[in-house]
């Protein structure tokens, strides 16, 4: 089974219309490596090819690496997305969006996931001041070296999202849009207008919309054996809906 594949803006990447979020519980000790693998393979079996994670998501990147080494799933059949922008300093998670940390974070992510390239790299929770010429140059340098294929950002801050879309210097942006956050529809319409450009023709820029399916009761119980089975069967998968031209 395979879901519809959609183009990621001006890149040569195509992603499945639904994605799987390798974060939160999936990256923690609340479930085992084997359970995490079963969920990953279940998502893949349902046609999902886009898997989103982050450098600071617990053991998530390491688990992806273990899966790629032991599963029937081939790396070339996946679109892997991860993030940089946070790091541990003396036991505390702090914001660091410097180009130096970007490069180091990417090197660590590649090692953890046992891959030689990242399809989509996102700056995680950026501030407007993070978007310097040095940052954009670092993105381009990683692209030229073949370490990443596309550069983007993940933000829930309206001012930051509007800035990113006005600048048009990234390949994509991921925002918080779901059934509980319908207010984002106004911004989505603005993004659609920007994507069309002044001439009305599509520029191919993209916003990636993110939402999650699960109910509160299921979330609370899924660490138990029975709860995990429900989680696996129903598929509390992160949904990533790409908006494109």
Distances (CA, A) of 49 to 13, 61, 103, 135, 194: 11, 16, 25, 28, 28
Does residue 232 carry a pLDDT above 50? no
CB atoms near residue 4 (< 10 Å): 10
Rounded to 5°, the CA angle 147-153-159 comes to 160
User: Percent of the chain at pLDDT above 70?
Assistant: 78
pLDDT of residue 245: 33
Instruction: Flag whether pLDDT at 108 surpasses 80.
Output: yes
Work out the angle between the directed axes of helices 33-45 and 225-234 (0-180°, nearest 10). 20
Query: What angle, rounded to 10 degrees, do the helices at 60-70 and 99-113 form?
Result: 40
Q: 121, 84 in Cβ contact below 8 A?
A: yes
Taking 60 as the threshold, does the pLDDT of residue 221 lie above it?
A: no
- Within 8 A by CB and 6+ apart from 146, the residues are 116, 117
Angle at 138 between CA 137 and CA 142, to 5 degrees: 115
Question: What CA–CA distances, in Å, run from 92 to 25, 53, 56, 125, 157?
Answer: 20, 20, 11, 16, 22
- pLDDT at 29 exceeding the cut of 50: yes
pLDDT in tens, 152-185: 999 989 899 889 888 889 988 888 887 777 888 8
Q: What is the pLDDT of residues 38-83, one digit of tens each?
A: 999 999 999 999 999 999 898 999 999 999 999 999 999 999 999 9
The predicted-structure confidence for 123-156, as pLDDT tens digits, reads as follows 999 999 999 999 999 999 999 999 999 999 999 8
Helix or strand holding residue 125 (H, E): none
Q: Is the pLDDT of residue 192 over 80?
A: no
């Amino acid at each position: 089974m395979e879901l519809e594949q959609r183009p990621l803006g001006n890149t040569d990447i195509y992603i499945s219309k639904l994605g799987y979020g390798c974060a939160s519980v999936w990256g923690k000790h609340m479930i085992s490596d084997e359970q995490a693998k079963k969920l990953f393979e279940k998502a893949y079996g349902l046609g999902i090819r886009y898997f989103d994670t982050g450098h600071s998501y617990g053991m998530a990147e390491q688990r992806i690496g273990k899966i790629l080494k032991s599963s029937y799933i081939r790396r070339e059949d996946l679109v892997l997305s991860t993030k940089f922008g946070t790091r541990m300093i003396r036991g505390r998670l702090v914001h660091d969006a410097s180009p130096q940390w970007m490069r180091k974070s990417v090197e660590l992510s590649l090692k953890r996931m046992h891959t030689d390239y990242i399809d989509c790299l996102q700056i995680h929770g950026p501030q407007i001041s993070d978007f310097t010429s040095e940052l954009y140059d670092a993105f381009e340098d990683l692209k030229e070296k073949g370490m990443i294929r596309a550069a983007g950002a993940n933000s829930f801050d309206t001012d930051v999202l509007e800035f990113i879309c006005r600048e048009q210097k990234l390949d994509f942006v991921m925002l918080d849009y779901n059934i509980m956050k319908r207010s984002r529809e106004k911004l989505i319409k603005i993004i659609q207008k920007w994507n069309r450009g002044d001439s009305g023709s599509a520029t191919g820029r993209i916003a990636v919309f993110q939402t999650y399916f699960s109910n509160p009761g299921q979330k609370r119980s899924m660490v138990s054996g029975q709860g995990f089975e429900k989680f696996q069967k129903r598929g509390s998968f992160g949904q990533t809906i790409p908006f494109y031209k």
